[in-house]
Structure formats: structure tokens, C-alpha cells
């Protein structure tokens, strides 16, 4: 509890809650309430990180380029209805305030300096050296705001021969081996269907920032955090990476199958594909029983997982013939109470219509200021005492510029008008 009190003190909330007479402080605040994030990120990894922090209650001030803003605003179609709001942008940018500042100008950078003094965390995802050249790097800002936690998200990190290269998810996944091990056996390498390395890097960054906030509560000092796509990708190779490093075993493509467990893959059915995983001999026996072929489990070729891996093609061929006789719905009904993991390969219509997905309420509906009604996938994590929520829709470009400059920095109307006239803000 003493650490919680230190964090609350560091965020400036302790006095407010003490005055209110609340005893159990954690029951009344979001995890990051009172923490301010200065967000200089675009595209996916950085915005995903700051969105998660915003879901947890942090105030996220998203700094965007006047006129165009975050590049993801232009990544369409599809757009929402007849608006110019891209579906791509709204996926990563809820719970944020948009402020447009031309950071290539001296006065624009001065505004960033002022905001940094009043912020707890700065997150950026520029190519290493870019913000340093604009006097917005960590070495400059730590002198202006020593308490600031400065998180850089890059493609390849701050050192090494690739450090100055731009980084995208599929490039990191290619260089890091993920594309090599993804795709059908014997087929071409494939990228994953969504930018998972971007997302994983954003999650790494969010966790690192949380840890740095806790450390600052102990030391009073900020620090620099470096996260990058390639290191994230290498860390997520897990057993495949370990197999190579420790046993010299090269990775390969298996489609939906598993190298070390059989059966563990998607099988074709009468109207689609259905995924089954039997992680133990007992589960394999159960599978054989419910599909009406109990004898398969007694066959010496398939008795143990080691046997099944050795005779993979035979058992997969047998199971494919059996599973192709019924539809996904029929197999789902048959497997409903089984102990082994199983489920249909859904398209997105089936995914969001799934009764479990609907029951947990993870899809949120809200009103966007220009696009009208929008739907978002909300936070994946729930807290027993609340506070991880979708509060506000993704902002329009520059929607909160006046609000932030007036309320946080004390600028008056004439100063804001002058800055706008000289295109420092928009």
C-alpha cells in the first residue's frame, strides 16, 4: 500500500483524495488517473501503446502535424460511412486529445517543452536521430523536465547498423524470421494477417512505461526507454528461437499444424475449417471416441504423441476424411463439452456474431463527433475495481488544441490566434 500511495503522490492526486475522505483510494480511481502522456507517435505501435495507457485512465495528449495529422488518418478506404475518418485510425486512437503543433518551428518546440514540464511520460516513434536533430531528443528534454519518462519506439533500436532505417511490422517480421516460419508447409512464406509485431511492441512499451512510473515513485527521476520492433519480434520466437539457439534446429512453415503436437491444426469440414488440438494422449483418446473411431487410439502408430508425430501424415489424412463429413456447426455441437481445445475457423462476421464475444461485451459503441456511430474493440483486460475503459472516441484532427493550450499552459485567446495565424498550430 505504501508504494501505491507513493505513485498517487507522484501523480498529484493524493491530496485530492485525502481531502475527500476516501479510505480505499484504489476503488475510486483508474490505474493511471492523474498521469499525463505526451504522445508524439503515429501509425500503429506507438498509438497502440498510448491507447492502452489512455484506457487505463492516463490523459493522452496526441501531438499531430497541422493539416494532415497522423498518417493513419489517411489510410483508407474503408472510411466510416461518408466521413473522412479511416477505420484504421479509429482502431488505435480512442481516449486521446488531439493537438496540432508544427514541431519543426522554434515556437512549436517551445510548446512541446512547456507540455513536457507538465507531463509524466513522452512517447515517440521517429527514426533514431530525427528528434535529436529537432532538439526534441531525450538529452535535451531531460534537462528541461528531469522527471520525464521518455519512451522511444523504433524499428531497430538506437544502435547497430540498422538503427537509422525506418521500421515497419512486416520488415521486422521478415528480418527476424517470423515470415520464414509462417505459411503453409511447402508453400511461400506469409506475413501474419495483422501487424502483430507492432501491437506486441506497443504492449512491451506500455509495460515498460508502467514499470518506469513505479521506479520514479521510488527515485523521483525519469529515464529513457527504448523499444523496437526487431527485438520484440526476436523475443516472440519463443520455442522456435530456442530450438535454433540451443539445438541448431532451423525453423520451418507448418501452416496451422504444430511441429511437436499431433493432431493440432485446422481440418477441412463440409463447409469450412475446424481447429482441434490434443495436447495429451488422454485428449486424443477422447477425440477418437467422440468421432466414433475409438480404435484409432489403440493403433500402435498413434498410441502416443511421439507415435503420432512420427506418423503425422497418416493420422491427419484419416482425421481429415472423418471431419469432412460434417459441418462446423455439427462438430461444434459434438465437441462442445470435450476437454480438448477446439473451435471453428471463423470469418469476421462469425467472429463478432459469436455468442461468447457478444456476451463479454468487448465491442463498444460510441458517438464520434463527425463520423456518427462507431464501434470499437475495447480493452482486453478487466480490473475487479474498474478503471480500464473506453471513455472518449478517437479525436478529430486538432480537436483539443485550444483546450490544452488554454487550460494546461494558460495561453489566452489572442496568443492562440497569433500562433494559428503564423501556422505554429492549426
Catalytic residues: 198
Compute the distance between CA of residue 18 and CA of residue 30 in angstroms, rounded to an integer: 16
Compute the distance between CA of residue 242 and CA of residue 110 in angstroms, rounded to an integer: 48
Residue 218 phi/psi, 5-degree rounding, is -90, -35
Tell me how far CA of residue 269 lies from CA of 275, 324, 353, in angstroms: 10, 4, 20
CA dihedral 404, 410, 414, 417 (to 10 degrees): -20
Shortest CA distance to 123 belongs to which of 36, 181, 198?
36
| Long-range CB contacts (within 8 A, 24+) of 275-282 | 275/341, 275/342, 275/343, 275/344, 275/345, 276/319, 276/323, 276/335, 276/340, 276/341, 276/342, 277/340, 277/341, 277/342, 278/340, 279/340, 279/341, 280/305, 281/305, 282/339
Strand partners, 265: 276
Where are any strands of DSSP class E within 333-426?
A: 342-344, 363-368, 372-377
Write out the DSSP string of 70-125.
Answer: SGGGG--S-BSTTSS-BHHHHTT--S-EEEEB-TTSHHHHHHHHHHHHT-SEEEE-
Compute the distance between CA of residue 412 and CA of residue 426 in angstroms, rounded to an integer: 16
Compute the distance between CA of residue 63 and CA of residue 374 in angstroms, rounded to an integer: 23
Residue 270 phi/psi, 5-degree rounding, is -65, -30
Residue 367 phi/psi, 5-degree rounding, is -100, 120
Amino acid at each position: 500500500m505504501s508504494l501505491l500511495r507513493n505513485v498517487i503522490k507522484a501523480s498529484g492526486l493524493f491530496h485530492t483524495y485525502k481531502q475527500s475522505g476516501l479510505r480505499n483510494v484504489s476503488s475510486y480511481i483508474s490505474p493511471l488517473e492523474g498521469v499525463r502522456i505526451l504522445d508524439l507517435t503515429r501509425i500503429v505501435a506507438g498509438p497502440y501503446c498510448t491507447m492502452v495507457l489512455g484506457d487505463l485512465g492516463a490523459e493522452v495528449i496526441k501531438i499531430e502535424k497541422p493539416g494532415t495529422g497522423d498518417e493513419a488518418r489517411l489510410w483508407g478506404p474503408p472510411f466510416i460511412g461518408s466521413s473522412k475518418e479511416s477505420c484504421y485510425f479509429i482502431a488505435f486512437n480512442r481516449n486521446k486529445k488531439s493537438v496540432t503543433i508544427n514541431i519543426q518551428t522554434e515556437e512549436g518546440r517551445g510548446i512541446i517543452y512547456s507540455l513536457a514540464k507538465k507531463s509524466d511520460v513522452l512517447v515517440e516513434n521517429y527514426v533514431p536521430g530525427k528528434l535529436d536533430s529537432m532538439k526534441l531528443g531525450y538529452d535535451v528534454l531531460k534537462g528541461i523536465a528531469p522527471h520525464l519518462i521518455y519512451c522511444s519506439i523504433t524499428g531497430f533500436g538506437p544502435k547497430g547498423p540498422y538503427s537509422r532505417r525506418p521500421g515497419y511490422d512486416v520488415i521486422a517480421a521478415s528480418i527476424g524470421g517470423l515470415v520464414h516460419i509462417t505459411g503453409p508447409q511447402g508453400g511461400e512464406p506469409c506475413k501474419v494477417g495483422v501487424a502483430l509485431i507492432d501491437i506486441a511492441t506497443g504492449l512491451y512499451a506500455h509495460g515498460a512505461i508502467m514499470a518506469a512510473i513505479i521506479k520514479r515513485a521510488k527515485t523521483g527521476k525519469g529515464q529513457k526507454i527504448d523499444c523496437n520492433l526487431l527485438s520484440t519480434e526476436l523475443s516472440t520466437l519463443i520455442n522456435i528461437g530456442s530450438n535454433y539457439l540451443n539445438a541448431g534446429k532451423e525453423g520451418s512453415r507448418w501452416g496451422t499444424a504444430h511441429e511437436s503436437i499431433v493432431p493440432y491444426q485446422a481440418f477441412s469440414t463440409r463447409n469450412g475449417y475446424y481447429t482441434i488440438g490434443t495436447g495429451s494422449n488422454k485428449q486424443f483418446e477422447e477425440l477418437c471416441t467422440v468421432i466414433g473411431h475409438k480404435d484409432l487410439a489403440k493403433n500402435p502408430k498413434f498410441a502416443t504423441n511421439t507415435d503420432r508425430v512420427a506418423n503425422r501424415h497418416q493420422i491427419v489424412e484419416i482425421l481429415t476424411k472423418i471431419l469432412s463429413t460434417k459441418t462446423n456447426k455439427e462438430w461444434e455441437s459434438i465437441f462442445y463439452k470435450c476437454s480438448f481445445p477446439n473451435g471453428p475457423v471463423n470469418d469476421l462476421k462469425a467472429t463478432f456474431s459469436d455468442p461468447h464475444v457478444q456476451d463479454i461485451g468487448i465491442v463498444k459503441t460510441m458517438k464520434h463527433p463527425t463520423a456518427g456511430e462507431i464501434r470499437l474493440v475495447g480493452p482486453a483486460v478487466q480490473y475487479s475495481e474498474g478503471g480500464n475503459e473506453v471513455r472518449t472516441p478517437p479525436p478529430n484532427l486538432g480537436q483539443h488544441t485550444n483546450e490544452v493550450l488554454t487550460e494546461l499552459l494558460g495561453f489566452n485567446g489572442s496568443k492562440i490566434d497569433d500562433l494559428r495565424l503564423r501556422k505554429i498550430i492549426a
